[in-house]
């Protein structure tokens, strides 16, 4: 397992030095906001560690691609809720909370996206649900930009500021860092099921 984690990390670091890195990061950020279960942090963090001076550029790519992908998620909820949206939300155990979430959306709308869009909760759930609730599109876009920018720029800013020690720490304790990230990811899914 340790060797596998090391191989993935080394591959990501090598990828960050290629021309395809930015496209891969944008692609992951795009699909994570609509259908894919893994967050773009899996690429963003190693890329910022590998090329610290480009951290804010990478955060911008993540933010833009994530918001555009969020529009696809919004469209799935708005136009295809009965055919695809319900299935995706059911997969994540959200349909049982549909009524309670609808009440929250009616009350708080964009504030929910702003608050929960910065957490490990999969963003696609918010985008699809926003479309299903017919949240005003300008509110959705502005809230999405705010939430995603705060999340990705915070990660990039920390890595830019503390890049060399962070890289040393990650490489020295890679297994523990990967485990902590996995716990956060699982925590996001746990939050969906029991907290939201």
Kindly report, residue by residue over 15-44, the tens digit of the pLDDT.
777 778 899 899 889 988 887 777 788 788
Residue 196, in any domain of the structure: no
Per-residue pLDDT of 83-95, as tens digits, reads 888 887 787 777 7
Q: Which domain holds residue 35?
A: 2-191
**Nearest by Cα to 92 from 120, 64, 118, 112:** 120
Least confident of 3-7, 70-74, 144-148: 3-7
Q: Note the pLDDT tens digit of each residue in 51-62.
A: 889 999 999 999
Identify whether 177 is part of a domain: yes
Q: Is residue 77 part of a domain?
A: yes
Mean pLDDT of the chain: 80
The arithmetic mean of pLDDT across residues 112-127, rounded, is: 79
The CA distance from 79 to 165, in Å, is: 47
Q: Whole-prediction pTM value?
A: 0.77
User: Is the four-CA dihedral 161, 163, 168, 173 of positive or negative sign?
Assistant: positive
Task: Specify the number of domains making up the chain.
Answer: 1
Q: Is the CB of residue 140 less than 8 Å from the CB of residue 130?
A: yes
């Amino acid at each position: 397992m340790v060797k596998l984690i090391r191989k993935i990390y080394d591959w990501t670091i090598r990828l960050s030095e290629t021309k395809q890195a930015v496209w891969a990061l944008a692609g992951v950020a795009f699909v994570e906001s609509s259908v894919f279960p893994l967050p773009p942090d899996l690429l963003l963090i190693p890329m910022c560690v590998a090329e610290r001076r480009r951290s804010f550029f990478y955060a911008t790519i993540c933010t833009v691609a994530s918001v555009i992908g969020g529009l696809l998620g919004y469209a799935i909820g708005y136009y295809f809720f009965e055919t695809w949206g319900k299935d995706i939300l059911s997969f994540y155990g959200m349909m049982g909370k549909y009524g309670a979430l609808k009440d929250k959306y009616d009350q708080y709308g964009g504030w929910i996206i702003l608050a929960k869009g910065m957490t490990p909760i999969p963003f696609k759930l918010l985008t699809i649900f926003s479309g299903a609730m017919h949240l005003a599109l300008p509110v959705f876009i502005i809230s999405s930009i705010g939430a995603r920018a705060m999340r990705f720029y915070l990660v990039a800013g920390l890595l830019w500021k503390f890049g060399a020690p962070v890289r040393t720490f990650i490489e020295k304790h890679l297994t523990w860092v990967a485990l902590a990230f996995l716990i956060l990811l699982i925590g996001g899914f746990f939050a969906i099921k029991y907290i939201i």
